[in-house]
Amino acid sequence: MRLFRRDPHSPSGRRRVLLLGALAAAALTLAPLGSVWASDQNVKMGFIVKKPEQAWFINEQRAATEMGEQMGFTVVRLAGEDGQQVLSAIDNLHSQGAQGFIICPPDVRLGPAILNRAKQYGMKVLTVDDQFVGADGKPMTEVPHLGMSGYKIGRQVGDAIAAEMQARGWNPEDVAALRISNNELPTARERTDGATDALLENGFDPDHIFDAPQQNTDTSSAFAAASPVFAKHGNFKHWVIYALNEESVLGGVRASEQYGLSADQVIGVGINGSGAAFAEFSRQQPTGFYGTIAVSSTMHGRQTAENLYNWITKGEKPPANTETSGTLMTRDNWQQVRQDLGL
């Protein structure tokens, strides 16, 4: 079949050429998401988190939303507490016309499946806090990531505990460490490994470190894991507690209180700098929760949202890996640190 029934150089033929050109341009604007850059006026992105009820993620999503309000894009806040919920959230975003999403995955091993779904829809994806790992167990560097160096933050925890032990004049022979662990999560393992190495380098006895594997990453799970450890090793006068986050450390502190240990017998140091820590520091009487390595979830939310926006609108792909640092927050300085970090 011939495209033109008459001479394309005739007036009517030229009109047909112009019409086909206009149709082709219209088709381009209807191309799948991600095939062309979005205009600044219609950018929509998702922000999917694994624990939407935790203060860290509440602050992170709120900060991203506020950044969108400032820069003129829309952020859709969603929960992804397991693999199926994550995939459903991505489907939801696609139906709303989102061009990409930021995610803290419930399981880093879901990375390949999540990336495949994103590619299916032509959506850009960034990870925050927890980085995707591939089938080979290595980080998926093709997906831009923003987070903290778990190992370095963990070392800060260990150094803070060691310094406070020394300040209190504790005899190392009387001190045990409760390591609330979650080795299925690489980020958690990096943090507790860093804290353990720092303690050992400060002379802590490795035989005095006891594991309490937790099923989840919240306070109740940590409490359940910690209680049997205190019951089994009642010969120690003092305890130090560390874990992947402050919620877990708080679970350990609550278990120590139930066991009968007083605040001056316990040094718990967490990681995050969220509402859980603020509430503990605001108590009238000090508890065994000595401090936390505060990092800015607000900054994580704002920066990842801005990075994704620039990638969508300008084609500027963010760096493969960006690491943030932490600050020791205690009962004495928490309000100033909170202000400095914008928490």
Tell me the C-alpha to C-alpha distance, in Å, between residue 269 and each of 52, 173, 329.
23, 20, 9
Nearest to 128 by CA among 75, 64, 69: 64
Question: pTM above the 0.85 mark?
Answer: no
**Which stretches does DSSP call E strand in 175-320?**
175-181, 209-213, 238-242, 266-272, 289-294
Per-residue pLDDT of the chain (343 residues; tens, 9 = 90+): 343 344 544 545 544 444 444 434 433 333 333 333 444 558 999 999 999 998 889 989 999 999 999 999 999 999 999 999 999 999 999 999 999 999 999 999 999 999 999 999 999 999 999 999 999 989 999 999 999 888 999 999 999 999 999 999 999 999 999 999 988 888 899 999 999 999 999 999 999 999 999 988 899 999 999 999 999 999 999 999 999 999 999 999 999 999 999 999 999 999 988 888 999 999 999 999 999 999 888 899 999 999 999 999 999 999 999 988 799 999 999 999 988 887 7
